[in-house]
Amino acid sequence: MKLVLALLLVAAAAARADWFEAPEAAPAPETGAPQPVDQRWWVVLPASGSAERTRIANAGVSIEEVSGSTVGGVADRRALERLRAIGIHPSRQTELEKAHLLAFPQPDAAFHDYSRVKSELAATAAAHPKLVSLLKIGSSLQGRDLVALRFNSDAKGTQKSAKPGVVFLGTHHAREHLSTEVPLLLAKWLAANAERADVKKLLDSRDVYFVPLVNPDGAEYDHAGCRSDAARCSYKWHRKNMRENSDGSRGVDLNRNYGFHWNTGGASDDPGSDTYHGPAPFSEPETQAVKRFVEERPNLKALLSYHTFSELVLYPWGHKYDPIDDGPALAAYKAMATKFGELTGYTPEQSSELYIASGDTTDWAWGERGIFSFTFELTPASSWDGGFYPGAKAIDPTFQKNIAPMLYLLEMADDPYRAGITGGGASK
Ligand code: 0X9
Ligand code: ZN
Protein backbone atom coordinates (compact mmCIF):
# COMPACT_ATOMS: atom_id res chain seq x y z
CA MET A 1 0.00 0.00 0.00
CA LYS A 2 2.77 2.38 1.01
CA LEU A 3 4.61 1.55 -2.20
CA VAL A 4 1.52 2.36 -4.26
CA LEU A 5 1.15 5.64 -2.40
CA ALA A 6 4.80 6.50 -2.94
CA LEU A 7 4.49 5.74 -6.65
CA LEU A 8 1.38 7.88 -6.88
CA LEU A 9 3.15 10.75 -5.15
CA VAL A 10 6.13 10.49 -7.46
CA ALA A 11 3.81 10.41 -10.47
CA ALA A 12 1.86 13.38 -9.12
CA ALA A 13 5.06 15.34 -8.49
CA ALA A 14 6.30 14.60 -11.98
CA ALA A 15 2.96 15.63 -13.40
CA ARG A 16 2.96 18.88 -11.41
CA ALA A 17 6.48 19.63 -12.53
CA ASP A 18 5.38 19.14 -16.12
CA TRP A 19 2.44 21.46 -15.61
CA PHE A 20 4.23 24.25 -13.84
CA GLU A 21 7.85 24.09 -14.84
CA ALA A 22 8.21 22.90 -18.39
CA PRO A 23 7.36 25.75 -20.76
CA GLU A 24 5.59 24.44 -23.78
CA ALA A 25 5.95 25.73 -27.27
CA ALA A 26 3.51 28.45 -28.28
CA PRO A 27 0.62 27.10 -30.34
CA ALA A 28 1.66 26.24 -33.84
CA PRO A 29 0.77 28.85 -36.44
CA GLU A 30 -2.50 28.19 -38.19
CA THR A 31 -2.17 25.54 -40.86
CA GLY A 32 -4.82 24.14 -43.16
CA ALA A 33 -5.91 21.75 -40.41
CA PRO A 34 -9.04 22.90 -38.53
CA GLN A 35 -8.37 23.95 -34.93
CA PRO A 36 -10.93 23.39 -32.17
CA VAL A 37 -12.64 26.75 -31.65
CA ASP A 38 -12.54 26.53 -27.90
CA GLN A 39 -9.02 25.26 -27.32
CA ARG A 40 -7.55 27.01 -24.30
CA TRP A 41 -4.31 27.14 -22.35
CA TRP A 42 -3.25 27.84 -18.79
CA VAL A 43 -0.68 30.62 -19.15
CA VAL A 44 1.74 32.34 -16.83
CA LEU A 45 2.48 35.92 -17.91
CA PRO A 46 4.71 38.72 -16.66
CA ALA A 47 2.66 41.54 -15.09
CA SER A 48 3.95 43.87 -12.45
CA GLY A 49 0.91 45.97 -11.54
CA SER A 50 -2.80 46.50 -12.08
CA ALA A 51 -2.25 48.41 -15.35
CA GLU A 52 -0.34 45.48 -16.85
CA ARG A 53 -2.89 43.02 -15.50
CA THR A 54 -5.64 45.09 -17.15
CA ARG A 55 -3.79 44.96 -20.53
CA ILE A 56 -3.77 41.19 -20.16
CA ALA A 57 -7.45 41.12 -19.17
CA ASN A 58 -8.23 43.34 -22.18
CA ALA A 59 -6.60 40.76 -24.44
CA GLY A 60 -9.28 38.30 -23.29
CA VAL A 61 -7.38 36.32 -20.66
CA SER A 62 -9.32 35.33 -17.55
CA ILE A 63 -6.77 36.14 -14.88
CA GLU A 64 -7.09 33.67 -12.05
CA GLU A 65 -4.12 34.33 -9.82
CA VAL A 66 -1.61 37.04 -9.12
CA SER A 67 1.74 35.98 -7.79
CA GLY A 68 4.44 38.64 -7.37
CA SER A 69 5.17 39.99 -10.83
CA THR A 70 3.34 37.26 -12.75
CA VAL A 71 -0.28 36.25 -13.31
CA GLY A 72 -1.80 32.87 -14.13
CA GLY A 73 -4.91 32.57 -16.22
CA VAL A 74 -6.75 30.97 -19.10
CA ALA A 75 -6.32 32.10 -22.71
CA ASP A 76 -7.78 30.98 -26.00
CA ARG A 77 -5.91 31.21 -29.31
CA ARG A 78 -7.12 34.72 -30.10
CA ALA A 79 -6.12 35.98 -26.66
CA LEU A 80 -2.65 34.52 -27.22
CA GLU A 81 -2.43 36.31 -30.55
CA ARG A 82 -3.49 39.59 -28.98
CA LEU A 83 -0.95 39.15 -26.20
CA ARG A 84 1.77 38.52 -28.74
CA ALA A 85 0.72 41.64 -30.68
CA ILE A 86 1.21 43.80 -27.58
CA GLY A 87 4.53 42.17 -26.78
CA ILE A 88 3.45 39.98 -23.86
CA HIS A 89 4.74 36.42 -24.01
CA PRO A 90 3.81 33.56 -21.69
CA SER A 91 6.65 32.16 -19.64
CA ARG A 92 4.61 28.98 -19.30
CA GLN A 93 1.77 27.59 -21.33
CA THR A 94 -0.06 24.33 -20.83
CA GLU A 95 -3.02 22.90 -22.66
CA LEU A 96 -5.98 22.69 -20.30
CA GLU A 97 -6.59 19.16 -21.47
CA LYS A 98 -3.32 18.25 -19.78
CA ALA A 99 -3.73 20.50 -16.78
CA HIS A 100 -7.21 19.41 -15.75
CA LEU A 101 -6.30 15.76 -15.43
CA LEU A 102 -3.69 16.76 -12.91
CA ALA A 103 -6.05 18.91 -10.97
CA PHE A 104 -8.30 16.13 -9.71
CA PRO A 105 -6.83 12.71 -9.36
CA GLN A 106 -10.08 11.26 -8.08
CA PRO A 107 -13.79 12.06 -8.04
CA ASP A 108 -15.04 14.55 -5.51
CA ALA A 109 -18.33 13.10 -4.44
CA ALA A 110 -18.67 15.55 -1.56
CA PHE A 111 -19.37 18.41 -3.96
CA HIS A 112 -23.06 19.00 -4.66
CA ASP A 113 -24.27 18.80 -8.22
CA TYR A 114 -27.39 20.63 -9.43
CA SER A 115 -29.89 18.03 -8.29
CA ARG A 116 -28.28 17.69 -4.85
CA VAL A 117 -28.20 21.46 -4.42
CA LYS A 118 -31.91 21.54 -5.19
CA SER A 119 -32.77 18.68 -2.88
CA GLU A 120 -30.66 20.07 -0.01
CA LEU A 121 -32.33 23.45 -0.32
CA ALA A 122 -35.78 21.87 -0.48
CA ALA A 123 -35.06 19.68 2.55
CA THR A 124 -33.81 22.67 4.54
CA ALA A 125 -36.98 24.62 3.74
CA ALA A 126 -39.17 21.64 4.60
CA ALA A 127 -37.44 21.15 7.96
CA HIS A 128 -37.85 24.82 8.99
CA PRO A 129 -41.22 25.94 7.59
CA LYS A 130 -41.63 28.85 10.05
CA LEU A 131 -38.40 30.46 8.97
CA VAL A 132 -37.24 29.13 5.60
CA SER A 133 -38.86 29.03 2.17
CA LEU A 134 -37.76 27.89 -1.24
CA LEU A 135 -38.25 29.93 -4.37
CA LYS A 136 -37.39 29.75 -8.02
CA ILE A 137 -35.96 33.01 -9.31
CA GLY A 138 -35.70 31.99 -12.96
CA SER A 139 -34.47 29.33 -15.36
CA SER A 140 -31.06 28.80 -16.89
CA LEU A 141 -30.50 28.75 -20.63
CA GLN A 142 -30.92 24.97 -20.70
CA GLY A 143 -34.01 25.14 -18.50
CA ARG A 144 -32.65 24.30 -15.07
CA ASP A 145 -34.22 26.01 -12.06
CA LEU A 146 -32.37 28.91 -10.48
CA VAL A 147 -33.25 28.24 -6.87
CA ALA A 148 -33.08 30.50 -3.82
CA LEU A 149 -33.51 29.76 -0.14
CA ARG A 150 -35.08 32.54 1.89
CA PHE A 151 -34.84 33.16 5.64
CA ASN A 152 -37.50 35.46 7.00
CA SER A 153 -39.43 34.95 10.24
CA ASP A 154 -42.55 36.62 8.77
CA ALA A 155 -42.61 36.68 4.99
CA LYS A 156 -42.42 33.49 2.90
CA GLY A 157 -41.84 32.79 -0.77
CA THR A 158 -42.24 35.98 -2.77
CA GLN A 159 -44.10 37.93 -0.05
CA LYS A 160 -42.72 41.43 0.39
CA SER A 161 -40.64 42.34 3.42
CA ALA A 162 -39.44 45.67 4.79
CA LYS A 163 -36.61 44.05 6.74
CA PRO A 164 -33.08 44.82 5.51
CA GLY A 165 -32.24 42.21 2.89
CA VAL A 166 -29.00 40.39 2.13
CA VAL A 167 -28.30 38.04 -0.76
CA PHE A 168 -25.47 35.51 -1.07
CA LEU A 169 -24.73 34.28 -4.62
CA GLY A 170 -22.61 31.32 -5.70
CA THR A 171 -21.10 29.93 -8.89
CA HIS A 172 -21.45 32.53 -11.58
CA HIS A 173 -18.37 30.72 -12.94
CA ALA A 174 -18.96 27.04 -13.66
CA ARG A 175 -15.59 25.61 -12.59
CA GLU A 176 -15.62 27.42 -9.23
CA HIS A 177 -17.46 24.59 -7.48
CA LEU A 178 -16.39 25.59 -3.99
CA SER A 179 -18.44 28.75 -4.49
CA THR A 180 -21.57 26.57 -4.58
CA GLU A 181 -20.61 24.69 -1.43
CA VAL A 182 -20.02 27.77 0.70
CA PRO A 183 -23.42 29.47 0.32
CA LEU A 184 -25.19 26.11 0.42
CA LEU A 185 -23.49 25.10 3.67
CA LEU A 186 -23.92 28.56 5.15
CA ALA A 187 -27.65 28.36 4.48
CA LYS A 188 -27.83 24.95 6.14
CA TRP A 189 -25.78 26.24 9.08
CA LEU A 190 -28.10 29.21 9.51
CA ALA A 191 -31.12 26.93 9.62
CA ALA A 192 -29.46 24.56 12.09
CA ASN A 193 -28.37 27.42 14.37
CA ALA A 194 -31.50 29.56 14.07
CA GLU A 195 -32.26 29.28 17.79
CA ARG A 196 -28.82 30.46 18.94
CA ALA A 197 -29.46 33.83 20.60
CA ASP A 198 -27.20 35.94 18.36
CA VAL A 199 -28.40 34.18 15.20
CA LYS A 200 -32.05 34.41 16.20
CA LYS A 201 -31.71 38.15 16.77
CA LEU A 202 -30.37 38.55 13.23
CA LEU A 203 -32.92 36.26 11.63
CA ASP A 204 -35.80 38.03 13.36
CA SER A 205 -34.75 41.31 11.81
CA ARG A 206 -33.40 40.43 8.35
CA ASP A 207 -34.58 39.11 4.98
CA VAL A 208 -31.85 36.69 3.85
CA TYR A 209 -31.43 34.86 0.54
CA PHE A 210 -29.00 32.27 -0.77
CA VAL A 211 -28.67 31.43 -4.47
CA PRO A 212 -25.81 28.88 -4.43
CA LEU A 213 -25.89 28.01 -8.13
CA VAL A 214 -26.38 30.92 -10.53
CA ASN A 215 -24.86 28.95 -13.42
CA PRO A 216 -26.15 25.36 -13.09
CA ASP A 217 -25.73 24.51 -16.80
CA GLY A 218 -22.05 25.42 -16.80
CA ALA A 219 -21.39 23.67 -13.49
CA GLU A 220 -23.07 20.47 -14.69
CA TYR A 221 -21.10 20.57 -17.93
CA ASP A 222 -17.87 21.14 -16.04
CA HIS A 223 -18.15 18.05 -13.89
CA ALA A 224 -20.01 15.82 -16.35
CA GLY A 225 -16.86 13.69 -16.71
CA CYS A 226 -16.70 13.19 -12.97
CA ARG A 227 -19.31 10.60 -12.22
CA SER A 228 -19.02 9.12 -8.76
CA ASP A 229 -17.76 5.87 -10.28
CA ALA A 230 -15.12 7.52 -12.45
CA ALA A 231 -11.59 6.43 -11.71
CA ARG A 232 -10.31 9.88 -12.63
CA CYS A 233 -12.13 13.12 -13.12
CA SER A 234 -11.70 15.13 -16.22
CA TYR A 235 -13.16 18.48 -15.32
CA LYS A 236 -13.47 20.77 -18.28
CA TRP A 237 -12.28 24.04 -16.78
CA HIS A 238 -15.51 25.58 -18.04
CA ARG A 239 -16.14 29.13 -16.80
CA LYS A 240 -19.10 30.52 -18.70
CA ASN A 241 -22.74 29.56 -19.15
CA MET A 242 -23.76 27.22 -21.99
CA ARG A 243 -24.81 29.71 -24.67
CA GLU A 244 -24.04 28.38 -28.14
CA ASN A 245 -22.13 31.23 -29.78
CA SER A 246 -22.25 31.88 -33.51
CA ASP A 247 -18.63 30.75 -33.99
CA GLY A 248 -19.34 27.35 -32.41
CA SER A 249 -17.77 28.20 -29.05
CA ARG A 250 -19.66 27.80 -25.79
CA GLY A 251 -20.68 30.37 -23.30
CA VAL A 252 -20.98 33.93 -22.10
CA ASP A 253 -19.06 35.04 -19.01
CA LEU A 254 -21.90 35.85 -16.62
CA ASN A 255 -19.58 38.06 -14.58
CA ARG A 256 -19.07 40.30 -17.63
CA ASN A 257 -22.72 40.36 -18.69
CA TYR A 258 -24.25 42.71 -16.11
CA GLY A 259 -25.46 45.99 -17.56
CA PHE A 260 -23.43 48.62 -15.75
CA HIS A 261 -20.66 50.11 -17.92
CA TRP A 262 -20.94 46.85 -19.84
CA ASN A 263 -18.09 46.13 -22.27
CA THR A 264 -15.92 49.05 -21.19
CA GLY A 265 -12.76 47.06 -20.43
CA GLY A 266 -11.47 43.72 -19.19
CA ALA A 267 -14.15 41.84 -21.11
CA SER A 268 -13.72 40.21 -24.49
CA ASP A 269 -15.49 40.58 -27.86
CA ASP A 270 -14.23 37.11 -28.77
CA PRO A 271 -16.97 34.54 -28.11
CA GLY A 272 -14.31 31.88 -27.53
CA SER A 273 -12.64 33.88 -24.78
CA ASP A 274 -13.33 32.96 -21.19
CA THR A 275 -14.28 36.58 -20.53
CA TYR A 276 -16.71 36.99 -23.45
CA HIS A 277 -19.23 39.64 -22.38
CA GLY A 278 -22.10 38.34 -24.50
CA PRO A 279 -23.94 40.10 -27.36
CA ALA A 280 -25.68 42.64 -25.13
CA PRO A 281 -25.95 43.62 -21.46
CA PHE A 282 -28.09 41.07 -19.62
CA SER A 283 -28.34 38.91 -22.73
CA GLU A 284 -28.33 35.76 -20.56
CA PRO A 285 -31.25 34.29 -18.62
CA GLU A 286 -29.04 33.75 -15.57
CA THR A 287 -28.03 37.42 -15.24
CA GLN A 288 -31.58 38.49 -16.13
CA ALA A 289 -32.85 36.35 -13.24
CA VAL A 290 -30.45 37.97 -10.75
CA LYS A 291 -31.38 41.42 -12.08
CA ARG A 292 -35.10 40.76 -11.73
CA PHE A 293 -34.63 39.20 -8.30
CA VAL A 294 -32.73 42.26 -7.07
CA GLU A 295 -35.07 44.81 -8.68
CA GLU A 296 -38.12 43.15 -7.15
CA ARG A 297 -36.60 43.50 -3.67
CA PRO A 298 -35.89 47.14 -2.88
CA ASN A 299 -35.16 46.13 0.73
CA LEU A 300 -31.85 44.50 -0.32
CA LYS A 301 -28.98 46.33 1.34
CA ALA A 302 -26.03 43.96 0.88
CA LEU A 303 -24.84 41.35 -1.61
CA LEU A 304 -21.99 38.89 -1.50
CA SER A 305 -20.96 36.95 -4.60
CA TYR A 306 -18.69 33.96 -3.99
CA HIS A 307 -16.04 33.04 -6.54
CA THR A 308 -12.79 31.11 -6.44
CA PHE A 309 -9.84 31.36 -6.13
CA SER A 310 -7.09 33.58 -4.64
CA GLU A 311 -8.43 34.44 -1.16
CA LEU A 312 -9.48 38.04 -1.80
CA VAL A 313 -12.23 40.38 -0.65
CA LEU A 314 -13.13 42.72 -3.53
CA TYR A 315 -15.37 45.78 -3.63
CA PRO A 316 -16.39 48.26 -6.38
CA TRP A 317 -15.29 49.72 -8.63
CA GLY A 318 -14.06 47.03 -10.93
CA HIS A 319 -14.67 48.76 -14.27
CA LYS A 320 -12.39 51.72 -13.46
CA TYR A 321 -9.47 52.57 -11.21
CA ASP A 322 -11.22 55.51 -9.51
CA PRO A 323 -12.55 54.79 -6.05
CA ILE A 324 -16.28 55.23 -5.54
CA ASP A 325 -16.89 58.92 -5.05
CA ASP A 326 -19.40 58.73 -2.18
CA GLY A 327 -16.94 59.33 0.69
CA PRO A 328 -19.02 57.80 3.53
CA ALA A 329 -19.77 54.75 1.35
CA LEU A 330 -16.11 54.33 0.47
CA ALA A 331 -15.18 54.51 4.16
CA ALA A 332 -17.82 51.86 4.90
CA TYR A 333 -16.64 49.61 2.08
CA LYS A 334 -13.03 49.85 3.23
CA ALA A 335 -13.93 49.18 6.87
CA MET A 336 -16.14 46.21 6.00
CA ALA A 337 -13.59 44.76 3.58
CA THR A 338 -10.90 45.11 6.25
CA LYS A 339 -13.14 43.35 8.77
CA PHE A 340 -13.87 40.57 6.26
CA GLY A 341 -10.11 40.30 5.74
CA GLU A 342 -9.50 39.95 9.48
CA LEU A 343 -12.19 37.30 9.78
CA THR A 344 -10.99 35.20 6.84
CA GLY A 345 -7.32 35.96 6.29
CA TYR A 346 -8.25 37.00 2.73
CA THR A 347 -6.75 40.17 1.24
CA PRO A 348 -9.13 43.15 0.90
CA GLU A 349 -8.82 45.45 -2.12
CA GLN A 350 -10.80 47.42 -4.67
CA SER A 351 -11.69 45.08 -7.57
CA SER A 352 -9.80 47.09 -10.18
CA GLU A 353 -6.61 46.84 -8.13
CA LEU A 354 -6.68 43.24 -9.29
CA TYR A 355 -7.48 44.22 -12.89
CA ILE A 356 -10.17 46.17 -14.69
CA ALA A 357 -13.21 44.12 -15.56
CA SER A 358 -16.58 45.51 -16.64
CA GLY A 359 -20.00 43.94 -16.35
CA ASP A 360 -19.54 42.16 -13.03
CA THR A 361 -22.30 41.59 -10.48
CA THR A 362 -21.02 43.89 -7.79
CA ASP A 363 -20.42 46.97 -9.94
CA TRP A 364 -23.98 46.66 -11.22
CA ALA A 365 -25.54 46.03 -7.79
CA TRP A 366 -23.70 49.01 -6.29
CA GLY A 367 -23.82 51.30 -9.34
CA GLU A 368 -27.47 50.77 -10.28
CA ARG A 369 -29.03 49.72 -6.99
CA GLY A 370 -26.86 51.19 -4.22
CA ILE A 371 -26.47 47.75 -2.64
CA PHE A 372 -23.24 47.24 -0.69
CA SER A 373 -21.69 44.48 -2.75
CA PHE A 374 -18.62 42.31 -2.34
CA THR A 375 -16.91 39.53 -4.25
CA PHE A 376 -15.07 36.90 -2.20
CA GLU A 377 -12.45 34.90 -4.04
CA LEU A 378 -12.40 31.83 -1.83
CA THR A 379 -9.77 29.20 -1.13
CA PRO A 380 -7.20 28.24 -2.24
CA ALA A 381 -4.65 31.03 -2.37
CA SER A 382 -3.00 29.72 -5.53
CA SER A 383 -2.98 27.12 -8.25
CA TRP A 384 -0.29 25.25 -6.28
CA ASP A 385 -2.98 24.40 -3.74
CA GLY A 386 -5.41 23.10 -6.33
CA GLY A 387 -6.76 26.23 -8.02
CA PHE A 388 -10.34 25.61 -9.07
CA TYR A 389 -10.15 21.99 -8.00
CA PRO A 390 -8.78 21.91 -4.44
CA GLY A 391 -10.60 18.68 -3.57
CA ALA A 392 -13.20 17.88 -0.96
CA LYS A 393 -10.78 18.61 1.87
CA ALA A 394 -11.17 22.33 1.12
CA ILE A 395 -14.93 22.39 1.64
CA ASP A 396 -15.28 22.29 5.40
CA PRO A 397 -12.50 24.71 6.40
CA THR A 398 -13.61 27.22 3.76
CA PHE A 399 -17.22 27.00 4.88
CA GLN A 400 -16.24 27.33 8.58
CA LYS A 401 -14.10 30.36 7.84
CA ASN A 402 -17.02 32.06 6.11
CA ILE A 403 -19.57 31.75 8.93
CA ALA A 404 -18.34 34.83 10.84
CA PRO A 405 -18.23 37.05 7.71
CA MET A 406 -21.80 35.99 6.85
CA LEU A 407 -23.01 36.92 10.35
CA TYR A 408 -21.09 40.19 10.17
CA LEU A 409 -22.74 41.12 6.85
CA LEU A 410 -26.18 40.28 8.26
CA GLU A 411 -25.43 42.42 11.31
CA MET A 412 -24.32 45.42 9.24
CA ALA A 413 -27.12 45.20 6.67
CA ASP A 414 -29.52 47.53 8.49
CA ASP A 415 -27.05 50.40 7.94
CA PRO A 416 -23.80 49.44 6.19
CA TYR A 417 -22.70 53.10 6.26
CA ARG A 418 -22.11 52.82 9.98
CA ALA A 419 -19.06 50.62 9.32
CA GLY A 420 -17.31 53.78 8.11
CA ILE A 421 -18.05 55.49 11.40
CA THR A 422 -17.26 52.60 13.74
CA GLY A 423 -14.19 51.43 11.80
CA GLY A 424 -15.97 48.21 10.88
CA GLY A 425 -17.41 47.53 14.35
CA ALA A 426 -21.01 46.37 14.46
CA SER A 427 -22.32 48.98 16.90
CA LYS A 428 -22.17 52.78 16.71
O1 0X9 B 1 -12.78 38.01 -13.12
C2 0X9 B 1 -13.76 37.76 -12.40
O3 0X9 B 1 -14.90 37.71 -12.82
C4 0X9 B 1 -13.53 37.51 -10.91
N5 0X9 B 1 -12.42 36.65 -10.71
S6 0X9 B 1 -12.52 35.08 -11.12
O7 0X9 B 1 -11.20 34.51 -10.96
N8 0X9 B 1 -13.46 34.32 -10.10
O9 0X9 B 1 -13.04 35.00 -12.43
C10 0X9 B 1 -13.20 38.81 -10.21
C11 0X9 B 1 -14.10 39.93 -10.55
C12 0X9 B 1 -13.64 41.14 -9.82
N13 0X9 B 1 -14.04 42.29 -10.53
C14 0X9 B 1 -13.17 43.09 -11.20
N15 0X9 B 1 -11.88 42.94 -11.18
N16 0X9 B 1 -13.76 44.05 -11.85
ZN1 ZN C 1 -15.26 33.58 -10.71
Task: Please tell me whether residues 119 and 237 are part of one structural domain.
Answer: yes
pLDDT given at position 109? 76
Pocket-testing residue among 360, 361, 364, ligand 1, by greatest number of atoms within 8 A of Cβ: 360
Task: Please tell me whether residues 163 and 298 are part of one structural domain.
Answer: yes
Task: Please tell me whether residues 78 and 128 are part of one structural domain.
Answer: no
Residue 135 lies in a domain: yes
Pocket-testing residue among 176, 350, 351, ligand 1, by greatest number of atoms within 8 A of Cβ: 351
| Ligand 1 atom showing the smallest separation from residue 362 Cα | 13
What amino acid occupies position 291?
K
**C-beta separation of 47 from 69 below 8 A:** yes
Count of Cβ atoms closer than 10 Å to residue 282 Cβ: 19
pTM of the model: 0.88
Q: Which of 52, 70, 102 is the last residue of a domain?
A: 102
Residue 109 lies in a domain: no
pLDDT given at position 229? 55
Nearest CA to ligand 1 atom 12: 351
pLDDT given at position 252? 98
pLDDT given at position 110? 84
Task: Please tell me whether residues 19 and 132 are part of one structural domain.
Answer: no
Task: Please tell me whether residues 301 and 343 are part of one structural domain.
Answer: yes
Total structural domains in the chain?
A: 2
Cα–Cα dist 336/411, whole Å? 11
pLDDT given at position 57? 96
What is the 364 CA–ligand 1 centroid distance (Å)? 13
Cα–Cα dist 411/240, whole Å? 33
Task: Please tell me whether residues 295 and 147 are part of one structural domain.
Answer: yes
Which CATH number covers residue 67? 3.30.70
pLDDT given at position 99? 56
What is the 397 CA–ligand 2 centroid distance (Å)? 19
Nearest CA to ligand 1 atom 2: 255
Residue 154 lies in a domain: yes
Q: Which of 102, 136, 154 is the last residue of a domain?
A: 102
Residue 139 lies in a domain: yes
Task: Please tell me whether residues 97 and 195 are part of one structural domain.
Answer: no
pLDDT given at position 423? 87
HSE-CB of 381 using CA atoms within 13 angstroms: 6
Task: Please tell me whether residues 125 and 203 are part of one structural domain.
Answer: yes
**C-beta separation of 38 from 75 below 8 A:** no
What are the residue numbers of the active site? 377
Low-confidence stretches of the chain (pLDDT beneath 50)? 1-34, 101-105
What is the 310 CA–ligand 2 centroid distance (Å)? 10
Residue 240 lies in a domain: yes
Contacts of 54 (CB under 8 A, 6+ apart): 265, 266, 352, 355, 356
Ligand nearest to the CA of 261: 1
Residue 427 lies in a domain: no
Task: Please tell me whether residues 234 and 98 are part of one structural domain.
Answer: no
What is the 30 CA–ligand 2 centroid distance (Å)? 31
pLDDT given at position 224? 79
What is the 271 CA–ligand 1 centroid distance (Å)? 18
What range does the domain containing 96 cover?
6-27+36-102
Residues in the ligand 1 pocket, defined by CB under 6 Å: 62, 64, 173, 176, 255, 307, 314, 318, 351-352, 354-355, 357, 360, 375, 377
Task: Please tell me whether residues 352 and 306 are part of one structural domain.
Answer: yes
Nearest CA to ligand 1 atom 16: 318
pLDDT given at position 331? 98
Cα–Cα dist 357/375, whole Å? 13
Cα–Cα dist 263/250, whole Å? 19
Which CATH number covers residue 208? 3.40.630.10
Task: Please tell me whether residues 96 and 180 are part of one structural domain.
Answer: no
pLDDT given at position 336? 98
Task: Please tell me whether residues 53 and 186 are part of one structural domain.
Answer: no
Length of the chain: 428
Residue 44 lies in a domain: yes
Contacts of 125 (CB under 8 A, 6+ apart): 132, 133, 134, 149
pLDDT given at position 104? 34
Residue 209: name the closest of 409, 401, 366 by CA. Answer: 409
